[in-house]
Structure 1
Amino acid sequence: MGRAAPAADGGDDLKSSWPEVVGWVTLNAAFKISSDRPDVSTDFYMIPTPLPNDYNPRRVIIVCDDRSVVVKTPVVG
């Protein structure tokens, strides 16, 4: 699995949130996130399941409803 490199100027050019996928089907959202950040994994949680409270910089949590539609902006962590 490839790892995205930071910008040459020392800045961090890695995408860390995906507001555009809210309203998408979860698998389509996961494909988009994997396309943007192949270095992270995606975890799926259906509301109202409690979310993990630990921070993991190699994970993106996708929160969906009972129709598998993303209801919250996925973010790294």
Structure 2
Amino acid sequence: MGRAAPAALMNDDELKTSWPELVGFEMLNAADRINIDRPDVSVAFYMIPTPLPTDYDPNRVVLVGDDRSVVVRTPVIG
């Protein structure tokens, strides 16, 4: 059906900021999907139980994975 508009053509209110549908995906596949949706952000990979960053970065998506590199938390901007 329809395709999402590229990030460059969307205003800030329309940009995707979380990807709950990626929980359960392999981390590299999830990162690819995020890069398609938001090529303007970088993806940071974290494994449980590594502490997550406490600062907010609007140019970063945090991906949290388990020991099998499967996404276990909703990836979000921050």
Same fold (TM over 0.5): yes
Off by >4 Å, runs of 4+ in structure 1: none
Q: Percent identity?
A: 65
- For 2:31, the equivalent position in structure 1 comes to 30
Deviation by residue 1:35-68 (Cα, 9 ceiling, x = unmatched): 0000000000000100000000000000000000
User: How many residues are paired up?
Assistant: 72
Q: Structure 1 unaligned runs (5+)?
A: none
The alignment's TM-score, normalised by the length of structure 2, stands at 0.87
**CA distance, structure 2, for counterparts of residue 75 and residue 49 of structure 1:** 17
Q: Which amino acid aligns with 1:60?
A: V
Deviation by residue 1:15-48 (Cα, 9 ceiling, x = unmatched): 0000000000000000000000000000000001
Partner SS state of residue 29, structure 1: helix
The alignment's TM-score, normalised by the length of structure 1, stands at 0.88
- The structure that is helix-richer by fraction is 2
Q: Structure 2 unaligned runs (5+)?
A: 1-5
